[in-house]
Amino acid sequence: MNNQEYNRGALPQFPQSMWRHTTDLPAFSKLEKDVQTDIAIIGAGITGITTAYLLSKAGFKVTVVEAAQILDGTTGFTTAKITAQHGLIYDKLRKHFGDEEAKLYYEANEEALSFIRSTVEEHQIDCQLQQEDAYLYADSEEQAEQLRKEWEAYEQLGLPGEWCESLPIPLAVHGAIRLPNQAQFHPLHYLRALVDSIIANGGVFYENTTMEDAADNTGDGRRRLKAENGCTITCKYAISASHFPFYDGGGFYFTRLHAERSYVVAIEPEIPLERGMYINCGEPKRSLRSALLEGTQVILVGGESHKTGKGKCTFKHYEELESFGGQLFGAKRIPYRWSTQDLITLDEVPYIGAITADEGNVLVATGFAKWGMTNGTVAALVFRDLIMGHGNKFTDLYKPSRFKANPGIKNFTVQNADVAKEWVSGKIELIHRKADELKTDEGGVVRHLGKRAGGYKDAEGRLFIVDTTCTHLGCEVEWNDAERSWDCPCHGSRFNYKGEVLEGPAIENLPLLSQESGNGS
């Protein structure tokens, strides 16, 4: 199908996750009393819920705390591929970690896939789990050179891949690597079943509860966590499964992680995607997989990654994905579009384990680099083994206190130089636009009382003006027009147009400077 044959359809006005919209999730109360528990898990995505499932099943008293609603973070906005094929990863791992640890990374993610399969079978979970081959392809000669190096890594490590010259879909490529027997599913149908199991095992959930950056020692080997409203949780182990760690512990995670946004459109195709999951190895990123929506196939077209706060007109990212998918398969309609945010470590391997070398009863999992279905499950399995004292062969690979000189030093310098640049440029920027110049359903940086501020005018003409200084470390946020949010380019915090926190590491809202009928300053 060529450009002339494809008539672009209308994108939904507002972003909405298909996974969340098609899942009936329970609601839980806010933490309003002091609690004592064995395990406190902060974050109710795939990592937190899987960890709670494993530990509650093992007889531990488990408490899960979520700042918003369960499964309303990255897990609820994923493409939900379950695979050990994570882009051009194995060539990098061989160079920076060595063959043994590169093979361990593959084995860890395959173990996660096996665990998900066995759990679905054990509980007979109806979550559209489907076995599919995963394809990593090159769509240019330059990418083909990189892909050949990745294939050499597959061969050296003995991974069960296959080199292909073409794909089963109508897309011209310069080679591809097929990894067989991977999978895809509806992640929230799967995790909803685990939530039910956790509750049956005596586990407790709290929603709309933000924790402070603290995990104080109680003097008897336990930790005391404190919520913003003053309520406390005393526990034997505290687990940060909150995307960006709720507690840093002197680990300086904000200097070792950067945030990227990516986008998805769900199209109902004219030509079905018969089999396979696909992703290219270059930029702009393009990802494909099928799913079922009320018995009808939709194709999830993902990609368009960029560093958070750096997108130029974010709505165009959706339009590019719509065009790519529509030209390949046609698009009868586009029922859903959504975006997500992922954290990436210095060496692209997640941090899973003790938050620092000296704090063995505060554990963290972060930096899944867009492969959270397997990496989040790996984290839960590692946590279970650490807490139960079983030992786990993947512990050293994921240990957060590791530091690989190559590429660690280079990436550390580049990321933090970029942070410094954003901090300075945001402070000296000259703002001439007035708030009353905003059109309805438009946001942007404006001048308010002589200073930089953020303005948004809703469909009724109400004007919301917020302080644009991120409450995490003081960088200046930028307007994301596709999501109607304020995004921080330094460490990835996001806020809605009223200044309320959507994603950390920030835990405090942007101050709402004014809410008025549209009169500017």
- Angle (nearest 5°) at CA 477 between 434 and 318: 95
202 vs 53: CA distance, rounded Å: 10
Q: What is the pLDDT of residues 75-88, one digit of tens each?
A: 999 999 999 999 99
pLDDT at 2: 42
Instruction: Assign 428 a pLDDT band (cuts: 50, 70, 90).
Output: very low
Please give the average per-residue pLDDT across 118-123, as a whole number: 98
Q: Does residue 494 belong to any structural domain of this protein?
A: yes
- Average predicted confidence (pLDDT) for the chain: 90
pTM for the predicted model, two decimal places: 0.85
- Which of the listed ranges 304-308, 396-400, 424-428 does the model predict with the highest average pLDDT? 396-400
- Residue 475 falls within a domain, yes or no? yes
Domain of 446, in residue numbers: 435-516
- Contact partners, residue 258, CB within 8 Å, separation at least 6: 307, 343, 344, 415, 418, 491, 492
Tokens of 134: 């995963």
Q: What is the pLDDT of residues 250-274, one digit of tens each?
A: 898 888 888 898 999 999 999 999 9
- Span 141-174, pLDDT tens digits: 999 999 999 999 999 999 999 999 999 999 999 9
Output the furthest CA–CA distance in the chain (Å, rounded).
Answer: 71
pLDDT band with cut points at 50, 70 and 90 for residue 474: confident
Rounded Cα–Cα distance for residues 353 and 433 (Å): 47
| Mean pLDDT, range 376-405, rounded to an integer | 93
- For residue 469, the domain's CATH number is 2.102.10.10
Task: Give the per-residue pLDDT at 412.
Answer: 53
Looking at the 3D structure of the chain, how many domains does it have?
Answer: 1
Q: Tell me if 37 is assigned to some domain.
A: no
- The answer to whether residue 505 is domain-embedded is yes
**pLDDT of amino acid 341:** 87
Residue 13 confidence (pLDDT): 75
373 or 418: which leads in pLDDT = 373
3-state secondary structure of 445: strand
Q: Is residue 487 part of a domain?
A: yes
Let me know if residue 504 belongs to a domain. Answer: yes
Q: Considering only CA atoms, which of 403, 108, 370, 106 is closest in space to residue 258? A: 370
Residues of the chain with pLDDT > 90, as a percent, come to 73
Please report the pLDDT score of residue 15 as a whole number.
Answer: 86
Question: Looking at residue 309, what is its pLDDT?
Answer: 66
pLDDT of residue 490: 78
**What token pair was written down for 180?**
């067989």
Give the model's pLDDT for residue 312.
57
Residue 101 has pLDDT above 90, yes or no: yes
Per-residue pLDDT averaged across 278-305, rounded?
96
Each residue of 173-205: pLDDT tens digit?
999 999 999 999 999 999 999 999 999 999 999
For residue 88, tell me if it sits in a domain. no
pLDDT given at position 423 = 40
pLDDT tens figures, 344-389: 999 999 999 999 998 999 999 999 999 999 999 999 999 999 999 9
Q: Which residues contact 267 (CB under 8 A, 6 or more apart)?
A: 9, 298, 299, 301, 322, 325, 326, 329, 331, 332, 333, 334
Stretch 58-81: mean pLDDT: 96
Which has more confidence, 469 or 64?
Answer: 64
Strands 81-82 and 463-466: unpaired
Is pLDDT of 123 > 80? yes
pLDDT of residue 447: 81
Q: Please report which confidence band the pLDDT of residue 405 belongs to, taking 50, 70 and 90 as the band edges.
A: low
CB 64 within 8 A of CB 394: no
Model pLDDT for residues 34-56, shown as the tens digit of each residue? 999 999 999 999 999 999 999 99
**What residues pair up with 496 in beta bridges, in sequence order?**
485
Instruction: Tell me whether residue 15 is in a domain.
Output: no
The yes-or-no verdict on residue 4 having pLDDT over 50 is no
Q: Indicate the range of 42-46, 107-111, 206-210, 448-452 predicted with least confidence.
A: 448-452
Question: 252-266, 301-315, 469-483: which has the minimum mean pLDDT?
Answer: 301-315
Q: Which of 451, 447, 467 is nearest to 520 (CA)?
A: 447
